Every structure is written in C-alpha cells, then in structure tokens.
Amino acid sequence: MLSKSAAKKFFLIGTVVCSGCFVLLTVDTVQKVPQQSHAENITPEVIHGKDLWDHNNCMGCHTIMGEGAYYAPELTKVYERRGPIFIKSMLKDPQAMFPGQRNMQKYNFTETEIDSLVAFLKWIGEVDLNGFPKKPDLVPAAPTANTAQLSELPLPTKPAVFDQVCVACHALQGKGGAVGPVLDGVGNRRNHDFLVSWLKDPLAVKADSKMPKLPLTDEQVQELANFLSQLK
Ligand code: HEC
Ligand code: HEC
C-alpha cells in the first residue's frame, strides 16, 4: 500500500510525465502536417474547390477522411478510384453516370467550378493518411455465362481510363458494372470507326442512348477504340 504522501507524489509525477509526452507528441504531429498534407500543393484552385465543397454541403451526404454523413460514397480517394473524367461527368450531371437511379442532385456548376472541385479532390487524395481508407474491391459484375472461359485469355494493353471510368458501367472479364453491355468480344460486333464515333458522342450515334458523352480527349478515344476493337 502507498502512503498518502507517496500516492500524491505518484499522481503528480505521473501527471507531469504524461502531459509532457502529450505535448511533445502533439508538437511532433503538427510539425508533420505540412509534409503529410503536401502543403505546397494547396493552390488557389484547391482552396476554391474546398470553398465550393463547404458551401454546397457535400458533407451532408459524403465523407472525407471519415468525416461527414454516411449516405453517399467516401470521397477521400475518389480521384484515384474514378479519375477526373468520371468526377467531371458526375458533377455535370449525376443522372448521366447513374442512369435511372440518381440520388445526388445536379448543381449547375460552371466548368471552372468543376475543375476546382476536381483539384480539391485530387489534393485530398494525395494527403498521407497512413493507409486510410482501406481500398475497396471492385464491384463484382453480374456473372455472364462464359466468364470463366474468357478470363483465361490475355488482354491487349488496357488504357488506364478504362478502369477508372468505363468499369463503372461495363463489365470486362467478369469485373465491372452492369449498367451498359458486357464488353467482352465487343470487337466482333463493333468496328474501329464505330467505336471512335460512339466514344466521342454516344448520343450522336443513338439519340436515346443511356451512355453519357464523356469528356475524353481525342487521344483517349483513339486508345480506347484500339483496345476495344481488339477484344475478339
Ligand atoms: C443529397 C446527397 C448528396 C450530396 C449533397 C452530394 N452528393 Fe455526391 N453522391 C451522392 C450519392 C448518393 C452518390 C452515389 C451515386 C448516386 O447514387 O447518385 C454520389 C456520388 C458522388 C461522386 C462519385 C463517387 C464514386 O465513388 O463514384 C462524386 C465525385 C460526388 N458524389 C461528389 C460530390 C460533391 C463534390 C458534392 C458537393 C458539391 C456532392 N457530391 C454532394 C449524394 C450526394
Ligand atoms: C454511365 C454509364 C456508362 C459509362 C460510364 C460508360 N458507358 Fe458505355 N455504355 C453504357 C450504356 C448504357 C450502353 C448501351 C447504350 C445503348 O445502346 O443505349 C453503352 C454502350 C457502349 C458501347 C457499345 C457496346 C455494344 O455492344 O454495342 C461501347 C463500345 C461502350 N459503351 C464503351 C464504353 C467505354 C470505352 C467507356 C469508358 C470510356 C464507357 N462505355 C463508359 C453506359 C456507360
């Protein structure tokens, strides 16, 4: 048993040591913030994006770094997951990216505002969060009859934009969304010229198409058309 004065000393010394550790660790963390957040990348565009994020209450539905509401997807790593083309189309018209099941409202942002929000989400995605959030697995597609046999075949080189944007709606080798048709074997039914016009503007080819016009560059269209026409 400690005597009363020994207990007092134990309490006082314990408190001082623990408080000291707490202050030192806090200072250490605060010093690391500029480095972990890449403070040098906080451009006026990023700040404008952050203002838009706050003023439009995106956090009423989404979380960033786990903070916000749990109605809509976590957006900390959305830039890496979806890429700028998907995010831009989503902010322009959410209905286009989720036909028939829109839950996010349309904001009528200008191009500059959309670019700023994308810059903000890119910056957030690059903050070093010690591994948070864990990477989600890709949504499994509705199984197709011949998936097992197809996934054995090696694929021609896949453009990066395919895995960011197209898989949201299309499945290939059993992976991806089920909004649009499965793209295995698309090269058998669609030729290169068709694919180029389709990717440039689906609505110009088929007026009631549910595939949105995506902000792809000519180079990305060519790459994708080359890739898709080889899927035989
Ligand atoms: C009313 C709730 C709501 C608000 C407010 C909202 N969103 Fe969304 N958002 C959603 C939902 C729900 C989804 C999932 C797609 C869907 O069902 O429409 C989504 C999807 C997204 C996606 C695509 C995420 C992914 O992983 O595919 C982005 C990017 C996005 N929202 C950005 C924003 C930004 C930026 C704001 C603020 C300007 C915002 N959202 C405000 C509900 C909301
Ligand atoms: C928001 C969902 C969505 C996204 C994103 C999307 N597509 Fe589509 N896509 C569709 C739908 C729906 C169709 C069927 C259109 C129709 O016939 O009305 C389609 C049709 C197609 C077709 C024609 C397929 C066929 O069998 O005739 C091709 C090729 C295609 N998409 C490629 C792509 C590529 C490449 C991307 C990525 C750059 C992409 N799509 C992104 C929804 C989407």
Residue 152 has a pLDDT of 54
| Cβ 29 under 6 angstroms from ligand 1 | no
Cα gap 190→225, rounded to integer Å: 10
| Cβ 104 under 6 angstroms from ligand 1 | yes
Domains of the chain: 39-126 (1.10.760.10), 147-229 (1.10.760.10)
Which residue in 168, 179, 182, 174 sits closest to 153, CA to CA? 174
Give the residues of the chain that fall short of pLDDT 50: 145-150
Choosing from 51, 61, 74, 110 the residue with most ligand 1 atoms within 8 A of its CB, the one to mutate for a pocket test is: 61
Residue 137 has a pLDDT of 62
Q: Whose CA is nearest to atom 14 of ligand 2?
A: 180
Residue 138 has a pLDDT of 57
Residue 94 has a pLDDT of 87
Rounded alpha-carbon distances, angstroms, from residue 150 to 26, 201, 217: 54, 29, 30
For residue 154, which amino acid is it?
P
Cα gap 218→224, rounded to integer Å: 10
Nearest ligand (C-alpha, residue 85): 2
Per-residue pLDDT tens digits for 73-125 = 999 999 988 889 999 998 998 888 877 776 788 899 999 999 999 999 999 99
Query: Which residue's structure tokens are 């003023």?
Result: 55
Residue 141 has a pLDDT of 52
Choosing from 101, 161, 165, 170 the residue with most ligand 2 atoms within 8 A of its CB, the one to mutate for a pocket test is: 170
Cα gap 7→76, rounded to integer Å: 48
Atom of ligand 2 nearest to the CA of 86: 5
Residue 148 has a pLDDT of 46
- The full DSSP string for 68-111 is E-SSS-B-TTHHHHHHHHHHHHHHH-HHHHSTT---SPP----H
High-pLDDT (> 70) share of the chain, %: 91
Cα gap 161→85, rounded to integer Å: 8
210 Cα–ligand 2 center, Å: 8
